Amino acid sequence: MATDGAAAAPAGSSKRDLLIFDAEENLAVSLAKYTADLSAKFAAERGAFTVVLSGGSLIHALRKLTEAPYLQTVDWTKWHVFWVDERVVPKDHEDSNYKLALDGFLSKVPIPTGQVYAINDALSAEGAAEDYETILKQLVKNGVLAMSKTTGFPRFDLQLLGMGPDGHIASLFPGHPLVKENKKWVTHILDSPKPPPQRITFTFPVINSSAYVAMVVTGAGKAGAVQKAISDKKTSDLLPVEMAVLDDGEFTWFTDKEAVSMLQN
């Protein structure tokens, strides 16, 4: 993929791309076009576009989608929005990934509210994870959400993900047993090392069954994890971000110069 203001380089396999932008502003412009293009593709192909959001810095990076031309040209009625992870707090709590997305993105675009799938914040972490998985299964039955023919897990059209400085993605943290979950679609964590401790999260089989993943990472604080993730030399202590290996899809890093400052070339 070639993008204005970005240097493109292969990052390991034929379906992985590394985009490096001079400035976060250019990254945001490119991410908006990438997302709008995939929206048009999936709306035409399947009449729906299933989009997964993370929390954190990703939401600010989506800001160009809320402006011209995308505000007018994207068919927002085709969007179905999910969260790769969510903190088990009320939806109006400052720690809520739903609130972050609502304030920074969803309130600015005309996605039908019935197609925005927030967690049930009245339930326990375990109950919310089970409830979310049930909702996903219903959407598979309705034909809104595709299934991977090879993995047996749901196949989201696009997952827009961030990564923490420790290499965590979603609420899958380094060394935590949840990274090995291989049966559930959605699971819960009660001891997240990053507060708040109670969260729900998609599991790796769901992340890795996606058609497209954009891994959006900026800033020098994440350079160490980016360097380890992109290195060809793999060690047994894989970071969660290194475990994001798509079964049959395209994985694109959207980075800035600071985030790749520890790469050799």
Ligand X SMILES: O=C1O[C@H](COP(=O)(O)O)[C@@H](O)[C@H](O)[C@H]1O
What are the residues binding ligand X (CB under 6 A)? 54-58, 85, 97, 162-164, 171, 194
Quick one: which of 203, 90, 75 has its CA closest to 136? 203
Q: Measured from the CB of residue 236, what is the shortest distance to ligand X in angstroms?
A: 24
Closer residue to ligand X, CB minimum distance, 12 or 193:
193
- Contact predicate 52/153, CB 8 Å: no
CA atoms within a 13 Å half-sphere pointing along the CA-CB vector of 102: 14
Closer residue to ligand X, CB minimum distance, 48 or 230:
230
- What one-letter code names the amino acid at 50? T
Give residue number: closest CB to ligand X. Answer: 56
Q: Measured from the CB of residue 24, what is the shortest distance to ligand X in angstroms?
A: 12
Closer residue to ligand X, CB minimum distance, 111 or 217:
217
Closer residue to ligand X, CB minimum distance, 54 or 208:
54
- Token couple for 15: 């379906």
Q: Measured from the CB of residue 228, what is the shortest distance to ligand X in angstroms?
A: 16
Q: Measured from the CB of residue 147, what is the shortest distance to ligand X in angstroms?
A: 24
Q: Measured from the CB of residue 89, what is the shortest distance to ligand X in angstroms?
A: 11
Closer residue to ligand X, CB minimum distance, 171 or 203:
171
Closer residue to ligand X, CB minimum distance, 145 or 172:
172
Q: Measured from the CB of residue 222, what is the shortest distance to ligand X in angstroms?
A: 7
